[in-house]
Every structure is written in C-alpha cells, then in structure tokens.
Amino acid sequence: MKKIDTLLKQTEFSDEDIVRLLQITDPQEATLLQKAAFNRTTEHLGNQVYYRGLIEFSNICTLDCRYCGIRKSNHLVPRYELTKEQVVEAACWAAENHYGSICLQSGERRDSKFIDFVTDVLETIHQKTVSDALPSGLGITLSLGEQTLEVYKQWAQAAGNPIGLRYLLRFETSNLKLFNHLHYSKSHHDKGLERRYQALKDLREAGYQVGSGVMIGIPGQTLEDLCQDIRTFQKLDLDMIGMGPYITSPGADMLGEGMMEKKALMRLALNMIAVTRLVIHDINIAAATALQALEDDGREKGILHGCNVIMPNITPRIVRKNYQLYANKPFIEQEPSDSNKFLQHCIEKTGRTVGLNVLGSSIHWKKRAGQMQ
C-alpha cells in the first residue's frame, strides 16, 4: 500500500488511491490529508471564503424523499411559506451586510403559483440589490429541485445577474440501487437518477453555474460508492459542490435504518471533502450546515478540509424550526446578525478571510465562461 505522504503529493488519483484516502482514520494521516487539501485550496482559489445567505422560504414539498424531515408524508411538521416581502427583506439584509450572494431554498413544487412567485421574488431582489458595492446585484443560488428547462430559463432571466447565477441540485448518490432505495415511496419512485443528471445538463444550457453533491454516510453506502460520486462530479464537470453527512430525521421514513456513529461520520465527511478538493482543484465547495449538526465547529473543520463557501442561515427565525431536514439542525434560535458574527469569527480562526461584496463564483466556471481577467 502507498504511503500517505507519497500519495498526497500526486495530482492524479486512481480509484484505489481515492478509496485509500477516504478510509483514513489514523489522526496523523488525517492531519496530513487536511493540510494537503487546505493548501491545494489556497493554491488554486486563494484565501477567501464566500457567503451565500441561505433563505429557506418554504417547507412545502410534493416529494417523499425517504431521508428528509420535510418530505410530503411527514404530517408532524407545520408547513409554511414566507411572503414575497419577507424573502426580499432577508435578501436586502444580506446585501446591506456585505454578502455577495444568497441561496433560495425550498421544498420541491412545480405548480405555476410557485414558479411565478419565485420569478417575482427574483426580479424584485435584483432591482433592490444593484448598488455601487454590488454593481450586478446579489449573486443568486437557487436550490428548488427539478424543474423544466423553460422554468430554469425563466428564473435565470428574472434573476438579472448572469455572472452570479447558480443552481444547486444534489444527485445524493451515484449508486443507482441506493438512489432508488432513498427515493422509493409506496406507489412509485419520486425521483430518477438519470432525470437528475439530465436536469444538471439543462441547468448548464440555461446559463447557470451548476452545483450538485451527495449525502455522506447513507446506510448501505460504501467507500467505493463515494469514490464513484467523485468520478461523477468530474464527469458532470460541476462548478460547485455541496455535500454533507447524512443525519437521521425523526420525521423521515428511514429512521429505522439508523446512521453512522457521529465521530466516524464526521471523519468520513471531512475525508470526502478533502479528497474531492485534491481531485478537483478549482471548484467551489460549500461547508454544509449538516457538518455543524454533528460538531459545533463542523463548518470550520469543513473550511480547513477544502471548503471555500459557507451558507449562513438568514431565514426569519419564526419559521426556521420548521425547516428541519434532520435532527439537531444548528442556528434555529439565532438572529441572522448573531450567526453572521459567529461565522466570521469561525472563518478567521481557520486563517481564511471572508470575501465581502463579491460574487465569489467558482474559478472552474470562470475559466469555462471566459470570465478570468
């Protein structure tokens, strides 16, 4: 077996190398992996971490993903929708607090009322956030599930900021059998893996910087599966990745299948982030909130292992407790400004700085789109 320090000097990795790195548990090896990923990030992307203020504007969902706390069949969770004014107010708060970008997330709906609501919100956010500090307005990431190509195009136009336009749609796992197990509901499969991949292609055609990702530590998932997930990130030529640990939710259908022990899960999630960074250098990787549900300084650890994006939750506090995708979701109680200050402190402790009033688009996308100066 190759020695870890030899392995970490490589710039190309075989599947065998990737699995070897993913399975690290020895603390000394883990430190070497962490340092290599952090340095690789600095070398390719510099020292800044970018904010995407997360606005979870509705937990109404038409799908039944078996792992998710806001799935349609969980009748225990009160459903909510923020008004247009509440969403726009949160977005303006982000702009005033020097965030370069926001992320709008919700449960999955494809009805015209929902589509028109998002269109209207996007147009207003753009109008209200163009300023000297943000000449093209706030950058927008949408995380609103699978839609048609026409809808992606309609939203892209409404967002009004083609250089700060992004969509995050995780494929959750590249193992087809596992994917179907996660999305099987009594009468049908809500989601199809091939359809998910097609949606990612449609998003590129519609002009978005395309992000995807997986859950790490799903019951039945192997290290080989995670290695194939990284290969799939490469094949899809993604611009950004958001991935985090799988955590059971009391309202989900998979509670009985359990989850990995927390410490081992954290280790695996950090290994996956670090190895992804070593294999794909110039993409943006977000430190998922789920890392913080496992350990208080989870997202800080994400940054130390190669993440360069963080998504402070700026959803109004009154509805936040109802967007519980999994147990122990952090920042349920804090006002946005508290979590903002706290996060800045966390980021600076890692040695990084916060990129204020910048879009922070991925270098990978900038190269493809001819946006490098």
- Compute the least distance from the CB of residue 144 to ligand SAM, in Å: 6
Q: Report the alpha-carbon distance of residue 312 to residue 10 in Å, rounded.
A: 34
**What's the Rg (C-alpha) of the chain?**
19
For 166, phi then psi, to 5°, come to -140, 155
Task: Map residue 367 onto helix, strand or coil.
Answer: helix
Among 55, 169, 241, 275, binds ligand SAM (CB under 6 A): 169
Binding of ligand SAM at residue 325 (CB under 6 A)? Answer: yes
- Compute the least distance from the CB of residue 179 to ligand SAM, in Å: 12
Q: In 3D, which of 322, 336, 245, 327 has the Cα closest to residue 56?
A: 322
Among 326, 331, 360, 365, binds ligand SAM (CB under 6 A): 326
- Compute the least distance from the CB of residue 245 to ligand SAM, in Å: 6
One character per residue 69-108, x = contact with ligand SAM (rule: CB under 6 A):
------------------------------------x-xx
Among 17, 81, 172, 253, binds ligand SAM (CB under 6 A): 172
Task: Map residue 56 onto helix, strand or coil.
Answer: strand
Q: In 3D, which of 148, 160, 82 has the Cα closest to residue 115?
A: 148
Beta carbon nearer to ligand SAM, 138 or 286: 286
* HSE, side-chain direction, 13 A CA sphere, residue 203: 29
Strand 101-106 relative to strand 139-143: parallel, antiparallel, unpaired? parallel
One character per residue 4-43, x = contact with ligand SAM (rule: CB under 6 A):
----------------------------------------
Binding of ligand SAM at residue 292 (CB under 6 A)? Answer: no
CB 62 within 8 A of CB 107: yes
Chain residues that interact with ligand SAM, rule: CB under 6 A: 67-68, 105, 107-108, 143, 145, 169-170, 172, 215, 244, 246-247, 249, 252, 290, 325-326
